[in-house]
Structure 1
Amino acid sequence: MTEFDTQTLINIRRHLHKIPELALHETQTHAYLRQLVSQLPQDHLEVREPAELPTAMMVLVHGSDPQRTIGYRTDIDALPVAEQTGLPYASQHPGVMHACGHDIHMTVAMGVLSYFANHQPKDNLLVFFQPAEESEAGGKRAYELGLFKGKWCPDEFYGLHDNPELPAGAIGCRMGTLFAGTTEVNIDIEGKGGHAAFPQDARDTVVAAASLIMQVQTIVSRSIDPIDSGVVTLGKISGGTIRNVIAGHTRIEGTIRGLTQKMILKIDQRLKDICTGVGASFGVKVKLGLNQGGYYPVENNPELTKRFIHYMQNADNINFITTRPAMTGEDFGFLLNKFPGTMFWLGVNDDSQLHSATLTPDESSIQPGVDAITGFLNYRMQH
């Protein structure tokens, strides 16, 4: 029997930290994870390495008396960040780093898989090692490629994200939305350029853009319930070539964040309305592009999350903390839109923020994370 102990898990995490890879290019990571799985007892394991999504890996642990298939997902990609931690096991890939802690995520998942490979679960357990969370919407890709069908279809899905602001090993969760959904906004305004001295002969896209930007500020303040939360940020604008020429084209880029998919769709519609109105008012063409991809809000299932929180609040040796929603995005939201489930935080106690070049998660969080999840999954299989 091979069950990964605490030090082995720490060593696994450090090796994963050395070999970060960007979305859809996680070949070394995949190979290492596959090697680890091969070290586990194979009696109840079935491994799938889908050709359609080659860096993904799905491991099915067949249950002793399955009533359902419980899914557990971990993301495996890294970010284009140059590491500045100075750690002896720092990234060996220049300009790429596990700056979001996915090395912690993978290690905890491997600890959970190790436990159930040695202690056959009652229900089937599907552990999904998912590529491309940071970009390219790997969860959505996997779903649309049909990976979750037949015996590979989970009845419910769980996953974690590390949180530097929580104590190491603490579990954080909440009813409702954990992460906001995100949508990229691209607006191209096409008018007619001309001489600054003859505005009547042109269609000024800079003035149209200014009006549009100011109207967008009313979406959250006047179209969204103040009790709810939404954000529209237009962070980039470019137009024109020189001071004395009226700009014939202006581009605006931004982002939408919302705590429910319903709210995001409402913001989308108001943006469409404003773009239509500005086009008519200024005699310009306004092209609006909205790209949500797979980054839906992470809306936790009420029934499953209530059970999850009940267990974490009452289990021995678990520090449970009720958390507030975060406006950052996570593509697990797409999978939770398709399957009931729960996402939660694992505290890693660090002064640095997620996505920073100095992120150094506390490795003492790994074993408590494994213990809390395996304990909950055993509990879930009895309830």
Structure 2
Amino acid sequence: MHEVKTKAYLLKVIKTFPQTNLEIKELPELPTALLVLVRGQNPRRNIGYRCDMDALPVNETNDLSFKSATQGIMHACGHDIHMTVGLGILNYYSEHQPQDNMIFFFQPAEESESGGKVAYDLGAFTNDFRVDEFYGLHDNPLLKAGVIGCRKGTLFAGTTEVNIKIQGKSGHAAYPHLANDAIVIAANFIEQVQTIISRNIDPVKCGVITFGKLQAGVIRNVIAGEAEIEGTIRGLTQEMIEFIRQRILEVASGLEKSFNCQITVEYNQGGYYPVENDPRLTERFITYMKNNTKVEFEETDPKMTGEDFGYLINKIPGTMFWLGVESKGSLHSADFLPKESAIKMGIDAVIGFLNYRMNLEEN
């Protein structure tokens, strides 16, 4: 939600485009968001295209003339590539009026604050800015520059933050029978929860539970009376996520009885639903990319990374796809460096698909 300079730069660039068929919309309640409507010649539908804007608290280590100029912040997930491709597509349609209306959504806060969900819940995609189908890309450092990757079904997992607070009773290390050790309870909780994946879920389906933080105790000879655990749940379907959440509650309930303690479990999913591509739209997208001799297409496996585009296409039919950028550094790393040659290739592939889509009679 801090993309003030980024939004200002986007506006500056967009205002250099022909404005005849453009309408810019801002959201007072989400001030760093930006929407642009391109009015079509003979619109039968409104096609949405989304690109995220935010950066990460990472200090770039690449030695480049164009490295991040802000200490401790860089586009380590390639959102600068996403915006640049989006600007290229928007520029084309500002000069070549499309058949259908197009809504470009430059979205803040993908990385942690569910900017897509916030915009949707504020009614951003209503009236003239209604979106009938949504498209968006994510760059992929493991694919060769310019490759388009996609799959039917789930592209990215949904994610849910889970916070657990265990309330036992502190006491002297020499008198454990007079206390209720929150560390022992936490150890039992973590061990039992890990069996949810191995013993409650079909092995051919995917789910992940990771606890990355455990905090308890103050000194070696005092039994801890409280413990806090923080983690994440990931699943390829919303049904899977909800199943895991329910099983964690059941484990907590059982441990409350066996240890005579209190365990509070809190979940926060926000907009990070699974990115489940719409079957009909995705079939059409993949068919076009496979048949386009100028595009190198690759069918990809699902990934356990999260993306709040999942919320938008849970509400509006849509498709997310990969754009290969061939970086030696991984996503979210300080040496992430996408190949710039991917930008033009991505723009051309998406424009080609959108023109094809707009010439189809069917919805």
Q: What aligned pairs does 1:346-361 form with structure 2 within 5 A after superposition? A: 346-361=323-338
CA RMSD of aligned residues (A): 0.9
1:336, CA displacement in angstroms? 1.0
Distance 1:282 1:29 in 2: 52
Q: How many pairs were matched up?
A: 360
Distance 1:377 1:314 in 2: 14
1:243, CA displacement in angstroms? 2.1
Q: What aligned pairs does 1:172-251 form with structure 2 within 5 A after superposition? A: 172-251=149-228
**Partner residue of 2:269?**
292
**Partner residue of 2:128?**
151
**Partner residue of 1:376?**
353
**Partner residue of 2:72?**
95
2:21 aligned to which of 35, 44, 47: 44
Distance 1:152 1:34 in 2: 18
**Partner residue of 1:132?**
109
Distance 2:18 2:239 in 1: 45
Distance 1:160 1:207 in 2: 45
Say if 2:285 is the partner of 1:281. no
**Partner residue of 1:76?**
53
1:199, CA displacement in angstroms? 2.1
2:297 aligned to which of 297, 320, 323: 320
Distance 2:221 2:255 in 1: 23
1:134-173 deviation digits (Å, cap 9, x = unpaired):
1211001101111111121100100000001101011000
Distance 2:151 2:273 in 1: 17
Say if 2:317 is the partner of 1:340. yes
1:239, CA displacement in angstroms? 1.0
Distance 2:19 2:255 in 1: 63
Give TM-score, length-normalised by structure 1.
0.93
1:200, CA displacement in angstroms? 2.1
1:285, CA displacement in angstroms? 0.5
Distance 1:284 1:146 in 2: 44
Q: Which moved more, 1:99-108 or 1:206-215?
A: 206-215
Describe the SS at the equivalent of 1:169: coil
Describe the SS at the equivalent of 2:348: helix
1:303-338 deviation digits (Å, cap 9, x = unpaired):
100000000000121000011111111111111111
Distance 2:10 2:69 in 1: 18
- Among all aligned residue pairs of Structure 1 and Structure 2, give the percentage whose two residues are the same amino acid: 60
Describe the SS at the equivalent of 1:54: strand
Distance 2:296 2:163 in 1: 43
1:59, CA displacement in angstroms? 0.4
Distance 1:242 1:50 in 2: 50
Describe the SS at the equivalent of 2:30: coil
1:204, CA displacement in angstroms? 1.5
Structure 1: give runs of 5+ residues left out of the alignment.
1-23
Distance 1:186 1:129 in 2: 31
Structure 2: give runs of 5+ residues left out of the alignment.
none
What amino acid maps onto 1:269 in structure 2? Q
